[in-house]
Each structure stands twice: as C-alpha cells, then as structure tokens.
Structure 1
C-alpha cells in the first residue's frame, strides 16, 4: 500500500517570497541606474528600441522589461510596447518632487554590499558599511559615496513622509521649527509649502548644510529656511524656536547618545515648546512591525543605534524634561509615526 507524507501545515511560499526579494530589488536598481523610467516618462519603448539604446542583445533586454512589468513598474499596451506604470511615473522619474531613486541608489551602492558581511556585524557588534577604525561616524564628509549619494537618498526617503507628517500634526500652532539633523531640508520644504506662517532652521554638519542650499533655493524658500552648521554633540542648538523636529535621527545613535540629543533639544526649547520625533518605531513588545524591525537590524551594519519603541522614548523624554502627549501613526517611508512631546 502506498502511503503519502502528510501535507505540511504551512506553505513555504512566504520563504520563497523573502528569498526572491533580491531579484525584485536588483531589477528595480538596475532599471533605475539605466535611467529607464526617466527616459520612458511620457513615451513608450519596444524591446528592440530599448536593446539598441543600451547596446545589448534582445534576450537580456526582454528579460529586464518583463521583470519590471511583473513587479508593477511598467505597463504594456496592445502593441507590446512598454510604458511607465503610475507608480514609476510618480516616484521613479528623476526631477519629480517625490522621486525615490535617490534612496534606491543608497541601498544598491552603499547598503547592499555591506549585507554580504552581515554576520561580521552580528558577531562583532559594530557597523560594517564604513571603516570604524578610520571614520568617526557614518556621516564622514570624506566618504564619496555618502557625499554623492546618501543625502539625495535621504531627501527621497523624507519628502513623501514629510507630507504625511504635515497631515498628522497641525503645524498651524508653530511659527518657527528647528530641524535637527535635517540635511536636505525635505521636511522643511514640504512643511513651509503647506504652512505659510512657518519658518524653519536646518541644523546639520557644515558640509551637509552646503549640500542643502540647492534644494532650498530650488524650492524658492531661501527667505524662510535658514541653514546653521554645527554638531549637535558639541554645539548648542539654535534658540528662538517653538518646535524641534528629530526625523530619522535618533535611531543612528546608542541610548546614551539619544539622551544627550534629547537634553540638547530641551535646552533649546522654551517651556511648552514641541518636540516631534518622527521615526520607524518598533512595537513595545519588539515583535515588529516588519519594516521597522528590519530597518532596526539595518542599523547593525550602519550605525551604533537601532529603532526604539514608544515606551523607551517616553522614559527618556521624561528624564530630559518632556511630557509625551501623543503618538500619531502613519505609513511613511522610513518612518511609521511621530511622537509628540512638550517641554515642561
């Protein structure tokens, strides 16, 4: 009599989905590097035209376009020609306000190679994406990949999330906001465009402030967004603001450094001033959510920090002289909410 092994209680398909992530990401990254979506904006292409443009054979050209279509980046019309999908047209065309290609380049050029050495980070409990023996931090101005790619990537990651923050919190109660570590000024540009009464100050490393001048100028906001160079561990933060924003800053640092940054923010704010912490928060029980937990693991290869919980921040804020008043959740890029606190 033939017997059959019982069917597994769960399917292995989720494991295949995880393992296949490399295929999807590298498809996206290569198409972005080739400028495919920017070139296709407002037009279409055949496989033959795409192959000729890049000097490649029909087979690899067809495979890449098919892969892009399969993951929702391209559409195909009745003639077989490919066009940008709505997703690609809105977020993958260079020059668009919410262009996401900057972050794709950061992951592809900077983070992806580091993950081949994830176990080294795990066993050594130190970053691996930069030389901890030669650099003071991830943000060294002499790292060409960081200077050329990282800040554009952070702008890509931040601009969409800035709109969600503007929807979640009423900035009508704020007249001057200090964006600590706000290089690129993505949040400040979005907020100032939404709230005409608002003025902003970006406080970041001097070389980052220089890189930030162009996006501020391009947005026509030189008269409303000031740039102040400094180091928040060594220099006093600018005063005369009624709110401080920390967006995707605190996860870069260990707990002691987080406490120092919060203390500095407290000294810069008047009583009743707002402190807004916009981050990808890990659940208090530390079971997820997946993106927050995975980006927290990413800090193992990138920094000495991690993504923290609302409960952890609440305790540290209390020690720094703040009362936590609200947690506003949203589904952003690199952030899933904002923790609101008042200076006592």
Structure 2
C-alpha cells in the first residue's frame, strides 16, 4: 500500500516538474555566444543609423554563411529582445532594441560593450576550465602556466596598447551605470576631495565631477595607464579638476583624500590582501573620512545575487584565491581596520557600494 502511494505521488510530482530551467541555464552559452558574436561584429553599431535587411547585414559582414543561418542568428537576437524586426525572412528588416541601441552602439555615449568584448575575446575560453579551477584552486587565465602568476598577465597587458585599451573599456563599461548611480545617490558635496584607487581611465572621477561641481578628484593607477586616462579626462574638459597620479597601491603610499573609492579592486585579492589594503586605506583617511568599494556585493544569505556569486567564480578563474564577498564580510574586515560603521548603497542591477566611515 505504502509503495503504491509513493509511486502515485511520484507520478503526480513528475507531472508538475519541468526541465526548462535546467535547459535554459545548462545551454545558456548558446544565447551568450549569439550576443557576444553580435558585439564582436559590431552589429548594434551597424544598425545604429537605421534598419537593415539580413542580406544587407550579411554583405556588410562579408559573411559566407548561408542566408538561412544569418536569419537564424538575427532572429535569435530578436527572440532574446536585443533586436526588433519588421517582416519575415526575405521581407524582414532588423533594428536595435532600445536598450541595445543605448548601451551597445559604439558611437553612442552610453556604450558599455567593452566588458562583452573582453568576455568574447578572453573570458569565454577561460571559463571552459572552471572544472579544473574548482579542483585545483588555480587561476585559468593567460597566466595559468606562468611562474610569475597573475601579475605577469597585467605586465604583458600593459605592453600592448590595443589590449590595454580593450581592458580599460571593459572596466569602464561594466561600471558606467553604477558610477552614475553612485554620483546621484551619495552626497559628495559634503567632501572636498576624492581618490579613486585603481581608477583606470578616470571614469568614476569623471562621473563624480560631472555631477558635483566643487569636488577635486585623483585617479591613482599604474604608469602605463596615464596617457589613456589623461586623454579621456581632457575629452570631458575636466583636466583642472581631475589629476592622474601614477603609482602601485600595493607598494606606494596612497594620496590623501576625504573619500577613497575602489571599483572592482577589493574582490581581486585573497583575504590577507583585502585586510592589508583596508588597513592602508584607514591610515590614509582623515577622521570622518569615507571608504567605498563598488562591487557586486553578495547578499548575506548568499541566495539572491547570482551575478555576484558568479563574479566570485570569475575571480577564481582570473586570480585563483581572490573572491567576492557579503556586506557582513565587509563589516568584519573594516571593523578590524578601525572603521566605525558601514552601510550598503544599492546602485545598478547586482552592484552596490559598500561604504565604511572612519
């Protein structure tokens, strides 16, 4: 009797279950690569001026694929919401969806495709080795077999202006919405100076200065980045309010400032490195000073911020022992350094600013 009831309940349960979530995530790389290929081919920039037919797109891409497969690719992007379409097959014309037109047209100021370019050119192939990373605890990027480790990847990166610019574009792209949100949500008017540690091409400093007229900003990063940063800062007419200071935040003293910010920096270290850097930040700040880290802060219950958890796995791929963290983690580390209190400021999507007050 019990066996029959169990079998009956099992049959009912099976009738309610669906494998759609399993298939959607398990085969998710199909959709991802369709989008990344579109970014690689600059499809959304191509469609920026107006709609095109599949034949027009095929010709502009010099594609030798069959027109049927071009339809399949474009209609996949339609089904995913990245393109819009009028007509069908030979009668169809394609145009950008509103969000892709704003964020993925290289000729528009909202372009954030740099991170997707890097995902296509670098991260996609490295993530194929996640299995090995989980077994060995070792990074799987370009420095995988290099005795100098991950830092040698950066030294090689800085020797190639093209790859360095791509990396800067990626870092700016992934943070654009967050930096704008931070500039709008936090009252920078109460402070006179800001230091962006590991500030790359100065994008955070630019956004803060565009929204707050009295603050002076310093972007602190390695010397090879200086010409890229100065060019970008000057293009916004902010060279009188933003200075680039070359240096290594591991080795050099940090410049003094009322606010010290790090965007996607702290997660790239192991716990020992995080504590050492927080101690340096605390000693640099004046009483009443503020430290902010702009990252994909994982929720304390570790159930909701999937992107933050995946970013932590990306740190395994990139750095081996580095990881993302929760607000409770941040509170523990900053308390050990001497900070009085912390708060969380939600920004864009999965990203927040974890803020510590001295």
Provide TM-score, normalisation by structure 1: 0.92
Instruction: Tell whether 2:71 aligns with 1:62.
Output: yes
Instruction: Tell whether 2:18 aligns with 1:11.
Output: yes
CA–CA distance in structure 2, aligned partners of residues 97 and 141 of structure 1: 30
Superposed displacement of residue 134, structure 1: 3.3
CA–CA distance in structure 1, aligned partners of residues 50 and 247 of structure 2: 45
Match of residue 105 from structure 1? 117
SS at match of 1:327: strand
The residue correspondences of 1:173-322 to structure 2 (distance < 5 A) are 173-239=190-256, 241-303=257-319, 304-322=321-339
| Greater shift in the superposed pair: 122-131 or 254-263 | 122-131
Superposed displacement of residue 136, structure 1: 4.6
Match of residue 77 from structure 1? 86
Summarize the Cα distance change of 1:122–1:302 in structure 2 as closer, same or farther, 3 Å threshold. same
CA–CA distance in structure 2, aligned partners of residues 201 and 264 of structure 1: 17
Deviations 1:232-253 (A, max 9, x none): 11100012x1111111110000
Aligned-pair RMSD on alpha carbons?
A: 1.9
Provide TM-score, normalisation by structure 2: 0.89
Unpaired stretches in structure 1, ≥5 consecutive residues: none
Deviations 1:9-49 (A, max 9, x none): 43211111112321111111111111111111121111121
Summarize the Cα distance change of 1:327–1:5 in structure 2 as closer, same or farther, 3 Å threshold. closer
Checking the alignment, whether the CA contact within 8 Å between 2:58 and 2:70 is kept in structure 1 is yes
Match of residue 116 from structure 1? 128
CA–CA distance in structure 2, aligned partners of residues 325 and 251 of structure 1: 17
Task: Mark the structure with the bigger radius of gyration.
Answer: 2
Superposed displacement of residue 320, structure 1: 1.3
Match of residue 172 from structure 2? 155
Deviations 1:161-190 (A, max 9, x none): 101112321111122100011112221111
Match of residue 184 from structure 2? 167
Superposed displacement of residue 342, structure 1: 1.6
Superposed displacement of residue 140, structure 1: 1.3
CA–CA distance in structure 2, aligned partners of residues 210 and 238 of structure 1: 20
Checking the alignment, whether the CA contact within 8 Å between 2:293 and 2:354 is kept in structure 1 is yes
Checking the alignment, whether the CA contact within 8 Å between 2:331 and 2:342 is kept in structure 1 is no
Match of residue 323 from structure 1? 340
Superposed displacement of residue 214, structure 1: 2.0
Checking the alignment, whether the CA contact within 8 Å between 1:72 and 1:87 is kept in structure 2 is no
CA–CA distance in structure 1, aligned partners of residues 47 and 249 of structure 2: 43
Checking the alignment, whether the CA contact within 8 Å between 1:276 and 1:340 is kept in structure 2 is yes
Instruction: Tell whether 2:41 aligns with 1:34.
Output: yes
Checking the alignment, whether the CA contact within 8 Å between 1:139 and 1:146 is kept in structure 2 is no
Superposed displacement of residue 7, structure 1: 4.7
Checking the alignment, whether the CA contact within 8 Å between 2:104 and 2:113 is kept in structure 1 is yes
SS at match of 1:340: strand
SS at match of 1:150: helix
CA–CA distance in structure 1, aligned partners of residues 153 and 337 of structure 2: 26
Checking the alignment, whether the CA contact within 8 Å between 2:194 and 2:259 is kept in structure 1 is yes
Checking the alignment, whether the CA contact within 8 Å between 1:279 and 1:337 is kept in structure 2 is yes
CA–CA distance in structure 2, aligned partners of residues 138 and 32 of structure 1: 28
SS at match of 1:191: helix
Match of residue 338 from structure 1? 353
Summarize the Cα distance change of 1:146–1:54 in structure 2 as closer, same or farther, 3 Å threshold. closer
Summarize the Cα distance change of 1:142–1:96 in structure 2 as closer, same or farther, 3 Å threshold. same
Checking the alignment, whether the CA contact within 8 Å between 2:112 and 2:176 is kept in structure 1 is no
Deviations 1:39-68 (A, max 9, x none): 111211111211222233312221221111
Unpaired stretches in structure 2, ≥5 consecutive residues: 1-7
| Greater shift in the superposed pair: 137-146 or 35-44 | 137-146
Superposed displacement of residue 96, structure 1: 2.1
